[in-house]
C-alpha cells in the first residue's frame, strides 16, 4: 500500500496510571534545598507554604534574563507520549515576560494568575533525550512565580475511527474525497500528533525549533485510500538563519524537494500584505532584465509567477516587528542592493 510521506503536525489522550518521572515532585523532600532540584542562577528559593504541602519552588526575575529550577530526566523512548502538569501561581506585582516549564526539548510558556491553578499539556519525546532536564523557571519576568506538585507521566493516545474504519487523529479530517491535516501546536497536544513518525527538532510552546541537521517526518495516511495529489503549507514563526527544506515521498528514501523557506520572508515581515505589490514589481523587473540583459532572469520570473504573490500569514500577525528586527530587514535590503548584478553569468 502506498502512502504519502511529508516533512511537514494532532489528538486525544487517555491517561493511564503510570509512574511520575519527576523526582521529588512536591518539592517537600530536602534539607537546605529541595532534593534533586537545582537553581540555574539568579534569584529563587525553596519557598513555603506550597499548594498541597509545606514547600514549593519560587523563581524570581528582574525583567532582563532567564533562570530556572531543574531536575534530570531519565532517558525517554523516541516519540513516547507524556502529560506534563503542575500547579503554579504568580505573586502580586509580577509582570512581563513568561514562565517557562517542562522538559527542555518541549518547553511551554505560560502567564500565571495570582491564584494556584493546575496547568497541563501533552508532549512527545524526540529521537534523543540523553541529558534532558525538566525546568520550572521564568524568562524576562519582573517578579516571582511559584510551582508545586509537578508531574510527568506516560499517557496513551486515543484516536477516532470513522464508519469506514479509517483512523484519524486531532487535526485530521476527510471531506468527500479530500483528506486534510491541520496542525494545532498551540493546543493541548503541543508537538504530538498521530502522523509524526520521527523528530529530532526541539519544540517551544507553539512551534518547532530547527537547528542544523534537525528534521521532522510526518506520514499522512488515510486507511487504504490512495493519494493522487497534495498541497503543503509551512509557516515560519521566527527566522534566525539557515534554510528549511521541505521534501515529500511516496515511499521512505525517495525524497523529492517540494520547497524551501529562507530569508525571502523578510519583505513580508516588514511590509505585510503590501509585499504583494513588491512581488509583482519584482516579476516585472525580472522580465525587463531578461529582455535587456541575461536571459536566465526569465527562469526566475517564471518561478515567481508559478509560486504566486500570496504569502502565508505568520503565527501571530497582530504582533509587530520591534525596532531591532526592522533595522535587520533594512540591512538585508542594503546587502541585496550592493551585491546584486544584472548579469550574474556571461557567455550564455
pLDDT value of position 165: 84
Domains and CATH numbers, the chain: 1-261 (2.60.120.260), 263-339 (no CATH)
Residue 13 above 60 pLDDT?
no
Across 31-35, 173-177, 210-214, 267-271, the highest mean pLDDT is recorded for 31-35
Determine how β-strand 106-110 pairs with β-strand 202-204.
parallel
Confidence of residue 316 (pLDDT cuts 50, 70, 90): low
Query: Environment class of residue 294 by beta-carbon count within 10 Å: exposed (0-12), middle (13-18) or buried (19+)?
Result: middle
- The answer to whether the CB of 58 falls within 8 A of the CB of 104 is no
User: To 10 degrees, the CA torsion angle through 327, 329, 330, 332?
Assistant: 130
Confidence of residue 321 (pLDDT cuts 50, 70, 90): confident
- The answer to whether the CB of 19 falls within 8 A of the CB of 142 is no
249 HSE (CA, 13 A, CB side): 10
pLDDT value of position 5: 35
pLDDT value of position 276: 78
pLDDT value of position 62: 94
Confidence of residue 319 (pLDDT cuts 50, 70, 90): low
CA distance 186 to 172: 16
Query: Environment class of residue 106 by beta-carbon count within 10 Å: exposed (0-12), middle (13-18) or buried (19+)?
Result: buried
95 DSSP assignment: B
What's the grid cell of residue 345? 553569468
Residue 1 above 70 pLDDT?
no
pLDDT value of position 260: 66
pLDDT value of position 262: 60
pTM of the model: 0.71
Confidence of residue 124 (pLDDT cuts 50, 70, 90): very high
What's the grid cell of residue 15? 491517561
Question: What is the share, in percent, of the chain residues with pLDDT greater than 90?
Answer: 44
DSSP H or E segment with residue 301:
helix 297-307
- The answer to whether the CB of 123 falls within 8 A of the CB of 196 is no
* pLDDT, tens digit (0-9, with 9 covering 90-100), for 257-312: 777 666 556 777 777 777 778 888 888 988 998 888 788 888 888 877 877 766 66
* pLDDT, tens digit (0-9, with 9 covering 90-100), for 144-199: 999 999 999 999 998 888 888 888 988 899 888 888 998 888 888 889 999 999 99
Residue 24 above 70 pLDDT?
yes
CA distance 200 to 206: 16
* pLDDT, tens digit (0-9, with 9 covering 90-100), for 222-243: 888 888 888 888 877 776 667 7
Stretch 209-230: mean pLDDT? 86
Please state, rounded to an integer, the average pLDDT across all residues of the chain: 84
Q: DSSP for 200-269, please give it.
A: -SEEETTEEE--TT--EEEEE--TT------------S---SS-EEEEEESSTT--EEEEEESGGGHHHH
- The answer to whether the CB of 164 falls within 8 A of the CB of 114 is no
- The answer to whether the CB of 13 falls within 8 A of the CB of 153 is no
What's the grid cell of residue 14? 487517555
β partners of residue 256: 248
Confidence of residue 94 (pLDDT cuts 50, 70, 90): very high
pLDDT value of position 328: 78
Amino acid at each position: 500500500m502506498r502512502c504519502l510521506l511529508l516533512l511537514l503536525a494532532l489528538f486525544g489522550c487517555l491517561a493511564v496510571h503510570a509512574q511520575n518521572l519527576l523526582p521529588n515532585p512536591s518539592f517537600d523532600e530536602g534539607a537546605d534545598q529541595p532534593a534533586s532540584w537545582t537553581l540555574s542562577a539568579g534569584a529563587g528559593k525553596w519557598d513555603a507554604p506550597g499548594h498541597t504541602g509545606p514547600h514549593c519552588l519560587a523563581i524570581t526575575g528582574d525583567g532582563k534574563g532567564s533562570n530556572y529550577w531543574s531536575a534530570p530526566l531519565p532517558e525517554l523512548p523516541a516519540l513516547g507520549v507524556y502529560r506534563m502538569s503542575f500547579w503554579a501561581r504568580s505573586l502580586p506585582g509580577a509582570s512581563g515576560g513568561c514562565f517557562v516549564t517542562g522538559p527542555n526539548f518541549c518547553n511551554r510558556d505560560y502567564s500565571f494568575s495570582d491564584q494556584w491553578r493546575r496547568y497541563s499539556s501533552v508532549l512527545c519525546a524526540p529521537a534523543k533525550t540523553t541529558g534532558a532536564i525538566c525546568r520550572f523557571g521564568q524568562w524576562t519576568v519582573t517578579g516571582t512565580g511559584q510551582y508545586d506538585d509537578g508531574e510527568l507521566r506516560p499517557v496513551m493516545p486515543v484516536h477516532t475511527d470513522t464508519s469506514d474504519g479509517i483512523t484519524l487523529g486531532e487535526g485530521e479530517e476527510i471531506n468527500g474525497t479530500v483528506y486534510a491535516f491541520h496542525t494545532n501546536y498551540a493546543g493541548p497536544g503541543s508537538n504530538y500528533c498521530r502522523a509524526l513518525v520521527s523528530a529530532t527538532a526541539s519544540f517551544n510552546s507553539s512551534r518547532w525549533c530547527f537547528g542544523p541537521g534537525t528534521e521532522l517526518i510526518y506520514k499522512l495516511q488515510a486507511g487504504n485510500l490512495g493519494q493522487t495529489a497534495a498541497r503543503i503549507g509551512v509557516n515560519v514563526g521566527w527566522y534566525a538563519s539557515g534554510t528549511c527544506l521541505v521534501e515529500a515521498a511516496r515511499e521512505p528514501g525517495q525524497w523529492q524537494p517540494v520547497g524551501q523557506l529562507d530569508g525571502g520572508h523578510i519583505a513580508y515581515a516588514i511590509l505585510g500584505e503590501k509585499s504583494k505589490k513588491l512581488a509583482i514589481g519584482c516579476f516585472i523587473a525580472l522580465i525587463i532584465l531578461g529582455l535587456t540583459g541575461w536571459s536566465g532572469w526569465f527562469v526566475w520570473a517564471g518561478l515567481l509567477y508559478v509560486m504566486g504573490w500570496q504569502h502565508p500569514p505568520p503565527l501571530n500577525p497582530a504582533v509587530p516587528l520591534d525596532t531591532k528586527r526592522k533595522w535587520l530587514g533594512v540591512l538585508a535590503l542594503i546587502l541585496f542592493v550592493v551585491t546584486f548584478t544584472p548579469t550574474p553569468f556571461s557567455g550564455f
